Structure 1
Amino acid sequence: MAAIARLALENGAGWADIAARIREWAAARGVALHGLVVLVPFAQQLGPARGAFAKQGGWQPRVETTRTMAASLGPAPRGGEGQLSFDAATDRLQAARLLRGQSWVPRDPLAFDDAVSAVVTTAHAVLKAAAAVEPAARADHWQHGRELIAPVAGVGAIERALARVALEWAAAASSPATDALFAWRPGAWVLVQSGGEDALARSVMVAMPDTVPCLLLDADAHVHETLAPSIVTARCEGFEHEAVCAAAQVLEHLRRGQLPVALVAQDRLLMRRVRALLERHGVGLQDETGWKLSTTRAAAQVMALLRAAAPQASSDLLLDWLKTAAWPQAAVAQIEAACRREGWTQLRAIDANLLRGRAAPLLAEAMLVLQTFASARRQTLSEWLRILREGLNSSAVLAPMLSDDAGAQVLQTLHIEEPTAWSAQAAQTSLSLAEFSAWVDAALEDASFIPQAAPDASVVVTPLARLTLRPFAAVVFPGADDHHLGVDAGPHPLLNEAQAEALGVPTSRQRRQAEALAFAHAVSRAPVTFFHRHADGAEPLAPSPLLEQLGLRLASAGRKLEPWVDPRLTLRLAPTPVKMPAPSAAALLPARLSASACEALRACPYRFHALYLLRVREAEELDDEVEQRDYGNWLHDVLLKFHTQRGEPAPAEAEAARLLAIAQEEKVHKGLDDADFLPFEAGFIDLVPRYIAWLHERDAQGALFWQGEQEREIAPPEWEGIHLYGRIDRMDQVRGPALELIDYKTGSAAGLKDKLRQPLEDTQLAFYAALVQPETEHPIRASYLALGRKIESLPHPDVEDSASALVTGVGADLARIRRGAGLPALGEVPTCDFCDARGLCRRDHWSGA
């Protein structure tokens, strides 16, 4: 066993100092530099370290990491089938196969998926830790692990069993490539330690014979003794403000010539935003962290196709897929418009006969692709990958992915382009479409995409742990809040702290210590600027505990955290009060108006201007969740079909059965999901006997259903060429003779009663009466039919007079608009409470509002 000499480096020592110390140590022991191996913690330090030795001239030592050194000694042992590969996609499949045959594993899909993830995570951690154990002692190491994770009964039995599966899976893996280091005999070993102990490198040196000198240069020893000359902090208002401030500080360092700048990626989502802001200014970046592969466009295209192929896919998922692929977007827009117009929320509800232009053939072509996924209940993984490849090809997605860095990594991660690399395992794994989609999603989520560095990179995006011993001129550190820095590390999914420590897996305490040590390095040399926001949406955030501890260290040294000075230009603008808008728009008057347009004009002229003249209404969401509106549309169609098919009155039981049968047919026709529609369907089943009873009372009174869902359009002379149009739910012929207009309502009857107490305030029934006045000589009645817990008919007391007043009043309003009258935003409650145009009129920003 070799004795390891230890030398503590002064804080602030650079690679030139380290190279000089190593040369002195080697000369004192008669070690030739060309036979000496210098191990550094991570690959980003190789360049500066090798450059320092090159500047000194003469023979050069080998400067390596443990991984690069092992790779130079020969190829890694080839793993056998089913062994750990550290490929997320492959290992998740093997873990699922290991667990699927165990009776004690949870059958619930979500719980099973959690178990697979926990086993893979644990097996990877245990095998990485085992690589630091000398090969001769590794059998004892695995046996000790088996004793630690012996089976138990009762609470924790499943977790213990999963941990044992992970342990045995790791123990069966082929020898790691770094085992070659234990057999290598250089002239001497030198380990540069910064950011914590390297267990593997230390084990390698301990295993050397006494004839191989070993030196450990400790850059951590004095890191807590000095602080950077400038430590600045800023408290930001929110996510966007923090990103903008961090980008501004980076640009300021570049303006001053302080290169390179380290941008610490503590909050990955925030860092993507900072990166985007810097790229707008043409800043060259080298990103060492990247982001999840699942967030790239290529991954989104793959997942969009799989989600659209699901049996219960919504039309929204279909449109997501069509928009991400290279389909003709004009035809896609036609399909989307039809879905919004017709309320098609489910894919199976789309009626191709109602599509126009290129939309119908495009839908047919897309459905052929999706049907290849739905044609089989279960397939082998290799078959699913073949189908996925064909689906990507058919939508012209595959070719761009092959030329895109992220796309190429997606194909590599899923083994779409190289299925032979694991063809045996893929051919033996049977999956449903849902399981295959979940596997693809998890594989893309586990992988990271690191973009290529700009050739003139002046800013390096790096994690906190890789700041040490690198020649940064300045450090910009966003995300220094208590949710992203100094967070209490969570427990291991399957190992307790004692088990993890015994197996060499980093414990929560060790991870906290490593982060604190890396933080100490970050604030020990170059100027550093911290940014943290006080809230993340509605969730309050505090400064990181490490930042607060730094403040105490500074205070003990007679210093403080300096406040950040925003380097951006400050513009002072005179306040401009926002007044109530009252635009005039005579030229925008439409050719016809609906009842809702007239209601808007009467309630708030500006709402009429925004929604019906400018037509800036927000597009309806294609949400597959069944809502009250969907139920109302379905109910209208059910009642129309029932009444048009109804002949002579029949017994209540027969009529109720027929109404329920029609309801079921319409539910299937509209593609309403059984589970989502269940609450509404239950309410309708309860409504049916009450409705039939009410209908029979109407029959006894001599009322006769005449027409339903009828469109009407007239041109009142007072409106000077503008038409009014609408669709009337139902018209009955009643004794008198008279014509009764009925409007179905599924909401509360209380609001309707309040409205009818002031007949001239009710626009809807009066509007419908105005539509039919020219075609009948009989009196007109109108009522709301409340279809709730109690069926109530709520008649309008004088609908014909109200209709005449409505037509006259709206005609006068239209005449004023033609003469240039303004359309003011009245800003009255309750009209403003749920108005879609409130953001446009800026009601909340009016002066004095």
Structure 2
Amino acid sequence: MAPIVRIPLEIGPGDPWPRVVRLAQAWAEGQGVVLRDAVMLLPFAQHLPLARRAWIALGGWMPRVETTQTLARSLGPGAASQPGQISFDGALDRLTARHLLRGQAFGQAWHKRDERGFDQAVASVAQTAQAFARAAAAMAPSDRDAYWTQGRELLSIAPGPGGTERMLARVAFEWAAASAAPVTDQLFDLQPSAWMVVQAGGADALTEALLLHAHGPALVIQADPDHAAAFSHAARIADVSQARCADFESEASRCAAEVLDRLNTGHRPVALISQDRLLTRRVRALLARQHVPIVDETGWKLSTTRAGAMVGNLLRAANPRATADDWLDWLKAGATDWPGVAGASRAMQAIETAMRRQAWSTPSAVDAQAMGDAPGQLWQAAQAVIADLRSPRSRSFNAWISALRQALAASGALDLLQSDDAGVQAINALHLDDAPVADPAETPQAMSLHEFTNWVDGTLEDASFVPEAAAGQSQASVVVTPLAQAMLRPFASVVFAGADEKRLGGAPSPHPLLNDSLAASLRLPTMEQQREAEMLAFIQLLRMPRITLLRRLDDGGEPLAPSTLVERLDLAMRKQGRSIAQAPDPQGRATLAPAPVPRPMPFAPDLLPDTLSASACDALRSCPYRFFALRLLSLREADELDDAVEKRDYGTWLHDVLHRFHESRTVPQAIGQDEARLREVAAQSQEHMGLDDAAFLPFAATFERFVPRYVQWLHERDEQGASWIDGERDLKASPVQWAGVRMQGRIDRIDSVPGEEGPVTQLIDYKTGSGQALRNLVKTPLEDTQLAFYAALMAQQSEAGGAVSAIYLPLDDSDGIKPIEHPQVEITAQVLVQEIGAELERLRRGARMPALGEGMACEFCEARGLCRKDHWEPVP
């Protein structure tokens, strides 16, 4: 082995590559090295054009400038891998790991017992096997057998704590040992006149192995500072400032403003360090509004692209438990032109409108014939696609890939994917090409739809979409890059967002199967090595001019402290009489004059309805503008297509249960019999309404507490002489005062109760809300519209006779069932009819319908965004 010369590179601002090249040339001349036969190895591919330009500027012969990977690929292909060997394709390697584990008896039992835990084990085995294979590839071929022998000894399976992890690690290790020889083995056969290595961010294991087996002279230019003095050296030269932001959005806007400020002052190119993926995406969107050309070296997850949504939503729609919302997500995210379906985009809108109007919360509830020709045709085409993809039985992996491709083609999405950069990358990541994927074993793997969907989701989550730089953007003013890849690059300024305790200098993720001691023995990166590499990359960044560090103080309600690396830098600077300055905010401030809007005052004499319900009358009384928007214009919020059982569904069900119960209860029974009958009717009603047992469980528990209380109250009422007459009765009336406008309503229940002057017709309205709110309401009877409306409606019926009373019956009060009576409801009903009639006459004559904006009427009003109450002119 020839001696290795190590020369430190002084870290400073500016382009380091001219100094690197001069050091290398001077050393080569001193050693008599023929440069044209030498090889210079660099840390990252981004350094290649920089170093080559520096050599060209120097003139004369230059060495071969490569990275270990580009040099190995240029020497020719490596050994062909066989099915089942590690491919370093995360998607395929997880399939192989799954097959390896399910091929064992313990794996099959594990999969049946805990499918989610088994999937986690599969991912851990694939990750660990790839790490072992990389560690083996970073050593000379002659040293590899000793590594495999050592690993088998260290990973010998022993009972006790950690046994499962050790067993999985052994499976991963043997899988890695059976892999094909890496393509980088060819590097050990090279005999250049000299190896020249630029080291930054720590030593590279493969490069160190090459130097140890080199026959000629070797040079290492160490761009990393001495660890002990790293921060003290950086503190002398760092041109750094910091900014504290309140939250995520303020950090994103401040970051974008910093970038724009650098561009406006000529400090370009700007390095935008991608330490927080979500934040970087937001900053990119803000810069795109200003038409800033950007080269993104990090990309974003394929699962967050439209192409990933197309594929993922299709598989979720194929799930037998898919909701109508799942189908809408798939159809709306997919192609706008379906093969054989004309006007698919408009048909899609019609389908969504029909589903929301009809409250079809499940795909099976949709009536294609009721939607019209084009929407019905599209829905039937969608059903055919799902039917072909959905399978009750397992399929092989290749069969699933073929079925998915056919489904995408049948819906027109495949053409859209092939015409989109992210779509092409999704096709490649999921192997949706025509060639079948080699199975990891001789027997094709059987997968259920659920397992295949999980595999697709994991693949799209792991793969990153890196957009290609558009024409003319190769020299973009802004480069989005990870922290490590920013080293030794001649950026004019740096904007570093996410310099907080969580994203910079925090605890790295531990290995899923190995502790740090075992990982170090097996030459895998330890947590300490990961922290050291991040620290060196941060120190390298500090040599660049004009660095701004940003962090937010609040992360979704969680307070954030500064990064430990930033605190170490600040401490080192303070020892030298400096400190990290506060960066001036480049964001402009604009003073906006208030521009209030007038309170709306519409009039619509020609839009008065033919009928009014109790709720419409209440809207007219509470706020005329709400009456105008919701009743006259028929505006409404789009309903959610959620199959979850809500309080409203429970109220509808309970009304139906009580109606069925009283309709069949001709004579009072014993308390036990009535309770049993009420539960029986409840089960029948739940089945009739299609309410799922699991989703309905909380309300079923509430009903169990309700049954004995209600039956006890009912029997006490029977003893007082009350009797049930009718329920859920629809009534209509045409008061003279309303001049042609009819009253219409449904009364929950009508009873006959004894009164001082004979039987009294009692109107009952069931309520599942707060009883106290109802008690407060009837304290001022003229404020209660609903019971007064029902009493007026009942008084207008031909069979009406005798006195009328009305009560609210709260069904959910914890202290029992206590009726709440509306006192003197007949008088209130007369006043209601008279006053509503007078108001309707005013509206016919063109009276305004102002937005009142008072009291509780505004708290949950659907029309608040229309009346714009929060933007009104102040009223003296």
User: Which residue is 1:396 aligned to?
Assistant: 412
User: Which residue is 1:559 aligned to?
Assistant: 578
2:797 is aligned, of 775, 778, 801, to 775
User: Which residue is 2:535 aligned to?
Assistant: 516
Instruction: Determine if the alignment matches structure 1 residue 635 to structure 2 residue 635.
Output: no
Q: Distance in 2 between matches of 1:642 and 1:359?
A: 41
- Residue identity in the other structure for 2:801: H
User: Which residue is 1:797 aligned to?
Assistant: 823
Q: Which has the larger displacement, 456-465 or 478-487?
A: 478-487
User: Which residue is 2:494 aligned to?
Assistant: 475
Instruction: Determine if the alignment matches structure 1 residue 79 to structure 2 residue 81.
Output: yes
Change (3 A) 1:523 1:103: same
1:174 is aligned, of 157, 180, 190, to 180
1:139 is aligned, of 145, 151, 154, to 145
1:117 is aligned, of 98, 112, 123, to 123
Question: Is 2:601–2:625's contact at 8 Å kept on the other side of the alignment?
Answer: no
Instruction: Determine if the alignment matches structure 1 residue 808 to structure 2 residue 834.
Output: yes
Change (3 A) 1:66 1:721: farther
C-alpha offsets along residues 3-39 of structure 1, whole Å, 9 cap, x if unaligned? 2111111213621121122122112222211110000
- Residue identity in the other structure for 1:294: S
Shift of 1:608: 5.0
Give secondary structure in 2 for the equivalent of 1:744: strand
Q: Distance in 1 between matches of 2:65 and 2:178?
A: 32
Q: Which has the larger displacement, 302-311 or 592-601?
A: 592-601
Instruction: Determine if the alignment matches structure 1 residue 8 to structure 2 residue 12.
Output: no
User: Which residue is 2:339 aligned to?
Assistant: none
User: Which residue is 2:314 aligned to?
Assistant: 305
Shift of 1:66: 0.6
Q: Normalising by the residue count of structure 2, what TM-score does the alignment of the two structures yield?
A: 0.88
Q: Distance in 2 between matches of 1:482 and 1:713?
A: 68
Shift of 1:439: 1.1
Q: Which has the larger displacement, 86-95 or 758-767?
A: 758-767
Q: 5+ unaligned residues in a row in structure 2: which ranges?
A: 337-343
- Residue identity in the other structure for 1:134: A
User: Which residue is 2:781 aligned to?
Assistant: 759
Shift of 1:313: 1.5
Shift of 1:467: 1.0
Change (3 A) 1:114 1:731: same
Shift of 1:692: 6.7
Q: Which has the larger displacement, 265-274 or 237-246?
A: 237-246
Q: Which has the larger displacement, 389-398 or 417-426?
A: 417-426
User: Which residue is 1:585 aligned to?
Assistant: 602
User: Which residue is 1:214 aligned to?
Assistant: 218
Shift of 1:61: 1.1
Q: Distance in 2 between matches of 1:396 and 1:634?
A: 42
Map 1:135-534 → 2, pairs under 5 A: 135-209=141-215, 212-221=216-225, 224=231, 225-226=233-234, 228=237, 230-326=239-335, 328-352=344-368, 355=371, 358-423=374-439, 428-455=444-471, 456=473, 457-534=476-553
Q: Which has the larger displacement, 650-659 or 752-761?
A: 650-659
Q: Distance in 2 between matches of 1:823 and 1:59?
A: 86
Change (3 A) 1:702 1:262: closer
Map 1:586-735 → 2, pairs under 5 A: 586-587=603-604, 590-591=608-609, 593-603=612-622, 618-640=637-659, 663-664=682-683, 666-684=685-703, 687=706, 701=721, 703-706=723-726, 708=728, 710=730, 712-714=731-733, 716-719=735-738, 724-731=743-750
Change (3 A) 1:135 1:663: same
Q: Which has the larger displacement, 246-255 or 817-826?
A: 817-826
Change (3 A) 1:723 1:121: farther
Question: Is 2:614–2:785's contact at 8 Å kept on the other side of the alignment?
Answer: yes
2:133 is aligned, of 123, 127, 132, to 127
Q: Distance in 2 between matches of 1:193 and 1:639?
A: 80
- Residue identity in the other structure for 1:231: V
Q: Distance in 1 between matches of 2:141 and 2:515?
A: 25
Identical columns (%) = 47
Shift of 1:802: 2.0
- Residue identity in the other structure for 1:266: Q
Q: Distance in 2 between matches of 1:501 and 1:300?
A: 40
Change (3 A) 1:685 1:731: same
Shift of 1:552: 2.2
Give secondary structure in 2 for the equivalent of 1:422: coil
Change (3 A) 1:342 1:730: farther
- Residue identity in the other structure for 2:561: A
Q: Which has the larger displacement, 371-380 or 783-792?
A: 783-792
Question: Is 2:272–2:494's contact at 8 Å kept on the other side of the alignment?
Answer: yes
C-alpha offsets along residues 399-449 of structure 1, whole Å, 9 cap, x if unaligned? 100111111111111112144232565971111111111111111111111
CA RMSD of aligned residues (A): 3.3
Shift of 1:115: 1.1
Shift of 1:682: 4.2
User: Which residue is 2:60 aligned to?
Assistant: 58
Q: Distance in 2 between matches of 1:667 and 1:349?
A: 17
Question: Is 1:381–1:427's contact at 8 Å kept on the other side of the alignment?
Answer: no
- Residue identity in the other structure for 1:583: P
Kindly tell me the number of residue pairs found equivalent between the two proteins: 843
Q: Distance in 1 between matches of 2:181 and 2:874?
A: 74
Q: Distance in 2 between matches of 1:516 and 1:845?
A: 55
Give secondary structure in 2 for the equivalent of 1:366: helix
Question: Is 1:643–1:705's contact at 8 Å kept on the other side of the alignment?
Answer: no
Shift of 1:607: 5.4
Shift of 1:385: 1.9
Q: Distance in 1 between matches of 2:347 and 2:160?
A: 60
Change (3 A) 1:583 1:518: same
Q: Distance in 2 between matches of 1:426 and 1:651?
A: 70
Question: Is 2:84–2:440's contact at 8 Å kept on the other side of the alignment?
Answer: no
Q: Distance in 2 between matches of 1:660 and 1:367?
A: 38
Instruction: Determine if the alignment matches structure 1 residue 95 to structure 2 residue 97.
Output: yes
Give secondary structure in 2 for the equivalent of 1:178: helix
Question: Is 1:315–1:347's contact at 8 Å kept on the other side of the alignment?
Answer: yes
Change (3 A) 1:178 1:583: same
- Residue identity in the other structure for 2:790: Y
1:32 is aligned, of 25, 34, 38, to 34
Q: Normalising by the residue count of structure 1, what TM-score does the alignment of the two structures yield?
A: 0.91
Shift of 1:634: 2.7
Shift of 1:756: 3.5
Q: Distance in 1 between matches of 2:145 and 2:785?
A: 85
Shift of 1:191: 0.7
Q: 5+ unaligned residues in a row in structure 1: which ranges?
A: none
Question: Is 1:312–1:347's contact at 8 Å kept on the other side of the alignment?
Answer: no
Change (3 A) 1:498 1:363: same
Q: Distance in 1 between matches of 2:156 and 2:807?
A: 76
Q: Distance in 1 between matches of 2:442 and 2:415?
A: 24
Q: Which has the larger displacement, 25-34 or 97-106?
A: 97-106
